[in-house]
């Protein structure tokens, strides 16, 4: 509701319905005070006893003499003091609009600022009501107010504009919360099919508990559905009752409790062997019930304790359609799905059409695969969308039934159509994934690949050919943070990757002391070992599967077969001997950027030492022998000693490194990383030996210069 008048003091009252009320008073030059009330009922969080279309009772009272304003919101009273001023009054000549905010006297309508809901009752009085009268109005006791309103929804001065429909509803429908909320589905189904259909929406076949409820349901159905579902019995719809022919009693399908009230026709009130189900509304007795065979095809009257809520999956994050809807009302003889904001799914011209009440031209039509289809389940619209009444922890079967997501892809068919075992690929690979490149470790360092080789038996021991054949199982474990896994089970053998070519996996290179080992692995399987909880549910995943992070769950590659290894046997003590065979394992095409070349450095130093000794020997033989040490002898001896010291230091550093390699230090939170001793020594001698060589060379050069 908007009351607007330019260039004046305005009191604006914003009701946000999230237990926050903001009062904003702004003062202008003229001393007039209209009321500006904005509210959005679709954003309100209703109490549990109400459904998502529950009403909001608002009452505003203004007393300029006392300088106070009262707001009664669903029985919660708030009082605000008005700013002091001279002769405050409400000036005429403005414009009053309900259900739409005004930006000026000339309109300035914005569809996003329109009321998207139902305005049930509105009354404007020219007097300030008491607190008791305000409370009476909020509690649907407007008849107790002795004053006559100057403006109501029925006043002729009001004009209806835009897509607005008018209807009359009984007062008890608005003011009293009912636990019985029937929804009629005008398609013929057997009793079992109708019961399953209601359960797909989280409801059950209805059973009116009194004559008033029965008459109300019958009247609502008669007004909307004229002749649908009538069969040879003349009945219209199923009731959620099951009869016992032995005891002659009726019990509810939902909980098995016997009913205390039935509206049966004489002669049709007791269940029989061939008529153990209850149908309603025969033509001659429109409010009566009769027993009927359960194989008949009638309509379904589903009952809900709250308005059925559904989720629409498969939309993009930026989609303008609502992702949450509920069943509310009928359109063209079928139930209507209303969004929380502005989306509606309605039956139109033989198909289901999804439209927006705000965005003009935004719509999508469902491609009907068979007559009588509902949008419940996965269907093709402009994109594939899934409308489901299942919660975020449940999976939607093809018939709309709900099962736990933990039963998805568990090798057991839990849905009647086996749909939960379809599309069970556990890999969700994003665009840009390159399977020829290895993943980085989750910590950002080098990738950890765990290798386990289990030898189960020795298949063949060939002494003559120096050969041994082993039966072995090779297991590799690693993590790939680039991949998301779906529907992982606790037993990792159920999480098999069907196509191993889709992702990167390490390829082993096995060689023995003579060359490449002959490897035969007839069995190879890739699994995912679940080691974390599911990540946040994504409404864009149509499969309704639990998603798991690749950084937290381990890929397990198991290979089983034989290894043929060439082995050098030492037969000095044959046949009382023990042989040791070696083979080496590495990953193809993977190496560290900086390798360790300690052994190569030792060999180079030894070669240099031999060359120096040879040069020294040749030089000594080509010059005269003397009893004193010549400078050339000192030069060669100095180089030979330094080279020898380099070899000794390299051997010591390599031995230290190998000893340190046996100790596995793991980095802990808050602990400083220790630099290995071998690294420190290597850095020191990399500086020491070149420096000593430079000093030695400088000494000889200075001695050479001083000789002149």
Tally of residues, the chain:
708
What's the pLDDT band for 49 if we cut at 50, 70, 90?
Answer: very low
pLDDT of residue 344: 92
Residue 324 CB: number of other CB atoms within 10 A? 14
Token pair in block for residue 538 = 């994504």
pLDDT of residue 663: 54
- In contact, 377 and 385? CB cutoff 8 Å: no
Indicate the range of 254-258, 382-386, 679-683 predicted with least confidence: 382-386
Q: Distance between CA 114 and CA 564 in Å, rounded?
A: 79
pLDDT in tens, 78-99: 787 776 665 556 666 677 787 7
Tell me the range of 245-254, 438-447, 462-471 where mean pLDDT is highest: 245-254
Token pair in block for residue 309 = 């809520």
Indicate the range of 462-471, 537-546, 592-601 predicted with least confidence: 592-601
What's the pLDDT band for 224 if we cut at 50, 70, 90?
Answer: confident
Q: Distance between CA 292 and CA 299 in Å, rounded?
A: 13
pLDDT of residue 277: 92
pLDDT of residue 205: 93
pLDDT in tens, 105-145: 656 666 667 777 777 778 888 887 777 877 777 777 656 77
Which string of DSSP letters, residue by residue, matches 522-572? EEEEEEEE--S------TT-TT---EEETTTSEEEEEEEEEEEEE-----T
Q: Which residues contact 231 (CB under 8 A, 6 or more apart)?
A: 188, 296, 297, 298
pLDDT in tens, 13-48: 333 332 323 333 333 222 333 333 333 333 333 433
What percent of the chain shows pLDDT beyond 90?
A: 12
3-state secondary structure of 69: strand
Q: Distance between CA 693 and CA 638 in Å, rounded?
A: 9
Token pair in block for residue 566 = 């060439």
Q: Which residues contact 47 (CB under 8 A, 6 or more apart)?
A: 54
Q: Distance between CA 38 and CA 36 in Å, rounded?
A: 7
Q: Distance between CA 42 and CA 99 in Å, rounded?
A: 13
Q: Which helix (H) or strand (E) holds 134?
A: helix 131-138
Q: Distance between CA 374 and CA 363 in Å, rounded?
A: 17
- In contact, 106 and 49? CB cutoff 8 Å: no
- Helix 677-706, helix 631-661: angle, nearest 10: 170
What's the pLDDT band for 8 if we cut at 50, 70, 90?
Answer: very low
Helix%, strand%, coil% for the chain, nearest 5: 20, 30, 50
Q: Distance between CA 145 and CA 37 in Å, rounded?
A: 22
pLDDT in tens, 265-274: 666 778 888 8
What's the whole-number mean pLDDT along residues 642-656? 87
- Which residues is 73 bridged to in the sheet? 58, 76
3-state secondary structure of 378: strand
Q: Which helix (H) or strand (E) holds 222?
A: helix 211-224
pLDDT in tens, 680-708: 888 888 889 889 889 888 888 888 788 76
3-state secondary structure of 455: strand
pLDDT of residue 592: 47
Which string of DSSP letters, residue by residue, matches 311-363? EEES--TT-SS-SEEEEEEEETTEEEEEESSSEEEEEETTEEEEEESSSTT-E
What's the pLDDT band for 318 if we cut at 50, 70, 90?
Answer: confident
Higher pLDDT, 603 or 642: 642
pLDDT of residue 496: 92
**Helical segments of 585-676, H only:** 598-622, 631-661
Q: Residue holding tokens 């469902």?
A: 366
- In contact, 496 and 525? CB cutoff 8 Å: yes
Q: Residue holding tokens 């008005």?
A: 82
Largest distance between two CA atoms of the chain: 145
Q: Which residues contact 316 (CB under 8 A, 6 or more apart)?
A: 540
Q: Which residues contact 418 (CB under 8 A, 6 or more apart)?
A: none
Residue in 671, 669, 676, 687 with CA at minimum distance from that of residue 654? 676
- In contact, 564 and 512? CB cutoff 8 Å: no
What's the whole-number mean pLDDT along residues 597-616? 73
Q: Which residues contact 356 (CB under 8 A, 6 or more apart)?
A: 320, 321, 342, 343, 344, 362, 363
Mode of pairing for the β-strands spanning 324-331 and 249-252: unpaired
Residue in 454, 478, 458 with CA at minimum distance from that of residue 468? 458
Report the b/e string of 470-495 with b at 16+ CB within 10 A: bebebebbbbbebbbbbbbbeebebb
Indicate the range of 274-283, 307-316, 395-404, 671-680 predicted with least confidence: 671-680
Cα four-point dihedral sign 640, 646, 649, 651: negative
> Long-range contact list for 251-260, CB < 8 A, 24+ apart?
252/207, 253/195, 253/204, 253/205, 254/204, 254/205, 259/207, 259/209
Above 90 in pLDDT, residue 352?
Answer: yes
What's the pLDDT band for 103 if we cut at 50, 70, 90?
Answer: low
pLDDT of residue 416: 86
3-state secondary structure of 226: coil
Residue 281 CB: number of other CB atoms within 10 A? 25
What's the whole-number mean pLDDT along residues 486-498? 90
SS3 per residue for 229-249: CCCCCCCCEEEEEEEECCCCE
Above 50 in pLDDT, residue 661?
Answer: yes
Q: Which residues contact 411 (CB under 8 A, 6 or more apart)?
A: 421, 494
pLDDT in tens, 526-541: 999 999 888 876 655 6
Q: Residue 583 gets which letter from DSSP?
A: E
Above 90 in pLDDT, residue 556?
Answer: yes
Q: Distance between CA 416 and CA 34 in Å, rounded?
A: 62
What's the whole-number mean pLDDT along residues 310-339? 88
617 prior amide bond cis, ω within 30 = no
Q: Distance between CA 375 and CA 325 in Å, rounded?
A: 12
Residue 649 CB: number of other CB atoms within 10 A? 18
pLDDT in tens, 283-307: 667 678 888 899 888 889 999 988 8
Residue 271 CB: number of other CB atoms within 10 A? 23
- In contact, 278 and 243? CB cutoff 8 Å: yes
pLDDT of residue 620: 79
């Amino acid at each position: 509701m908007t009351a607007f008048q330019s260039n004046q003091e305005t009191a604006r009252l914003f009701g946000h319905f999230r237990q926050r009320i903001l009062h904003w008073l702004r003062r202008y030059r003229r001393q007039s005070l209209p009321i500006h009330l904005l509210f959005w009922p679709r954003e309100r969080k209703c109490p549990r006893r109400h459904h998502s279309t529950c009403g909001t009772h608002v009452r505003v009272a203004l007393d300029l003499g006392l300088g106070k304003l009262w707001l009664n919101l669903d029985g919660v009273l708030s009082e605000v003091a008005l700013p002091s001023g001279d002769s405050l009054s409400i000036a005429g000549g403005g414009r009053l609009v309900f259900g739409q905010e005004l930006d000026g006297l000339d309109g300035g309508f914005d569809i996003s600022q329109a009321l998207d809901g139902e305005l049930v009752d509105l009354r404007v009085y020219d007097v300030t009501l008491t607190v008791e009268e305000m409370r009476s109005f909020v509690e649907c006791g407007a008849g107790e107010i002795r004053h006559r309103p100057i403006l109501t929804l029925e006043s002729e001065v009001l004009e209806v504009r835009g897509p607005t429909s008018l209807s009359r509803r009984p007062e008890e429908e608005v003011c009293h919360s009912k636990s019985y909320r029937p929804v009629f589905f005008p398609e013929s189904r057997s009793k079992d099919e109708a019961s399953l259909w209601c359960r797909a929406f989280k409801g059950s076949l209805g059973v009116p508990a009194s004559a008033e409820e029965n008459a109300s349901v019958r009247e609502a159905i008669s007004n909307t559905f004229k002749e649908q579902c009538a069969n040879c019995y003349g009945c219209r719809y199923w009731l959620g009752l099951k009869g016992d022919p032995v005891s002659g009693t009726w019990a509810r399908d939902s909980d098995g409790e016997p009913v205390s009230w039935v509206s049966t026709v004489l002669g049709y009130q007791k269940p029989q062997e061939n008529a153990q189900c209850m149908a309603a509304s025969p033509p001659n007795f429109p409010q009566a019930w009769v027993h009927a065979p359960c194989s008949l095809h009638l309509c379904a009257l589903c009952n809900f304790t709250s308005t059925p809520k559904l989720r629409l999956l498969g939309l993009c994050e930026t989609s303008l359609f609502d992702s949450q809807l509920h069943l509310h009302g009928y359109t063209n003889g079928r139930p209507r799905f209303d969004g929380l904001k502005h989306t509606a799914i309605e039956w139109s011209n033989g198909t289901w059409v999804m439209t927006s009440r705000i965005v003009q031209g935004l719509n999508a039509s469902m491609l009907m695969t068979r007559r009588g289809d509902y949008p419940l389940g996965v269907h093709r619209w402009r994109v594939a969308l899934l409308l489901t009444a299942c919660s975020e922890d449940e999976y939607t079967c093809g018939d709309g039934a709900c099962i736990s997501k933990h039963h998805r892809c568990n090798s057991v068919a839990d849905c009647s159509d086996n749909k939960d075992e379809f599309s069970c690929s556990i890999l969700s690979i994003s665009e840009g994934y390159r399977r020829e490149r290895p993943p980085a470790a989750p910590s950002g360092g080098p990738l950890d690949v765990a290798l386990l080789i289990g030898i189960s038996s020795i298949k063949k021991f060939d002494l003559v050919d120096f050969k041994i054949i082993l039966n072995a199982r090779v297991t590799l474990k690693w993590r790939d943070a680039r991949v998301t896994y779906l529907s992982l089970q606790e037993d990792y053998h159920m999480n098999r990757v069907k196509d191993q070519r889709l992702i990167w996996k390490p390829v082993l290179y096995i060689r023995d002391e003579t060359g490449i080992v002959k490897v035969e692995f007839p069995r190879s399987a890739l699994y995912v070992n679940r080691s974390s909880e599911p990540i946040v549910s994504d409404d864009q995943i149509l499969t309704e599967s639990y998603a798991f992070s690749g950084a937290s769950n381990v890929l397990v590659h198991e290979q089983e077969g034989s290894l043929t290894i060439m082995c050098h046997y030492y037969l000095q003590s044959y046949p009382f001997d023990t042989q040791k065979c070696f083979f080496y394992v590495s990953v193809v095409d993977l190496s560290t950027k900086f390798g360790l070349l300690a052994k190569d450095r030792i060999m180079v130093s030894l070669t240099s030492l031999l060359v120096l000794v040879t040069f020294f020997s040749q030089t000594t033989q080509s010059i005269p022998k003397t009893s004193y040490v010549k400078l050339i002898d000192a030069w060669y001896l100095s180089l030979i000693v330094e080279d020898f010291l380099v070899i000794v230091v390299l051997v010591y550093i390599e031995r230290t490194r190998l000893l340190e390699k046996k100790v596995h230090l793991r980095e802990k939170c808050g602990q400083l990383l220790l630099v290995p001793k071998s690294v420190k020594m290597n850095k020191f001698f990399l500086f020491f030996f070149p420096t000593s060589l430079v000093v030695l060379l400088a000494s000889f050069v200075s001695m050479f210069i001083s000789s002149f």
